[in-house]
């Protein structure tokens, strides 16, 4: 069972769920990318290549239809549309020491 599971999802680090589209999003430490699939497993796709480091934090912005992720080794936080398009660096700094998780504040933006 575990072998079949890991072949499908890789090595998941962070995940979030979008109840509006029924997609589950997760970062894959094996392939260093971000994937999504419907809860029933259909429609699996890679939406973002995170380079040579795993995204250790991941959060969905349901109001803005964005996905945010943090990469510890890059000391950076990134953002893209939920389909993976328009990916860009939001913030990078050595002062962001080991960003492993990310939480959004939808009320205050």
Query: Which pLDDT score, from 0 to 100, does residue 94 have?
Result: 81
What pLDDT is recorded for position 43? 93
* pLDDT category of residue 1 using cuts at 50, 70 and 90: very low
How many structural domains is the chain composed of? 1
Q: Does any domain span residue 45?
A: yes
- Report yes or no on 97 lying in a domain: no
**pLDDT over threshold 80, residue 9:** no
Which residue's entry shows tokens 């680090």? 13
The answer to the question of residue 81 being in a domain is: yes
What is the average per-residue pLDDT within 21-34?
Answer: 92
pLDDT at position 10 is 79
Strand order in the sheet with 76-81: 57-61, 66-71, 76-81, 88-92
Span 38-46, mean pLDDT? 93
pLDDT at 97: 78
- Is 99 exposed, middle or buried, given 0-12, 13-18 or 19+ CB atoms closer than 10 A? buried
Q: Is 104 domain-assigned?
A: no
* 4 band by pLDDT with thresholds 50, 70 and 90: low
Residue with tokens 């549309």: 81
Cα separation, 104 vs 45, whole angstroms: 24
CATH of the domain at 56: 2.40.10.500
The answer to whether residue 108 is domain-embedded is no
Does residue 98 belong to any structural domain of this protein?
Answer: no
Residue 19 lies in a domain: yes
Mean of pLDDT values over 69-81: 90
Q: How confident is the model at residue 6 (pLDDT cuts 50, 70, 90)?
A: low
Asked whether the predicted pLDDT for residue 77 surpasses 60, the reply is yes
Range of the domain at 16: 2-92
Maximum C-alpha span of the chain: 43
Q: Is the pTM of this model over 0.85?
A: yes
């Amino acid at each position: 069972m575990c072998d079949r599971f890991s072949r499908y999802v890789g090595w998941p680090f962070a995940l979030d769920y979008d109840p509006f589209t029924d997609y589950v999003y997760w970062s894959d430490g094996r392939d260093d990318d971000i994937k999504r699939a419907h809860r029933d497993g259909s429609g699996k796709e890679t939406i973002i290549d995170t380079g040579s480091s795993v995204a250790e934090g991941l959060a969905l912005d349901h109001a803005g239809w964005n996905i945010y992720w943090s990469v510890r080794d890059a000391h950076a936080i990134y953002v893209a549309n939920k389909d993976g398009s328009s990916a860009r660096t939001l913030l990078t700094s050595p002062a962001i020491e080991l960003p492993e998780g990310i939480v959004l504040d939808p009320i205050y933006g």
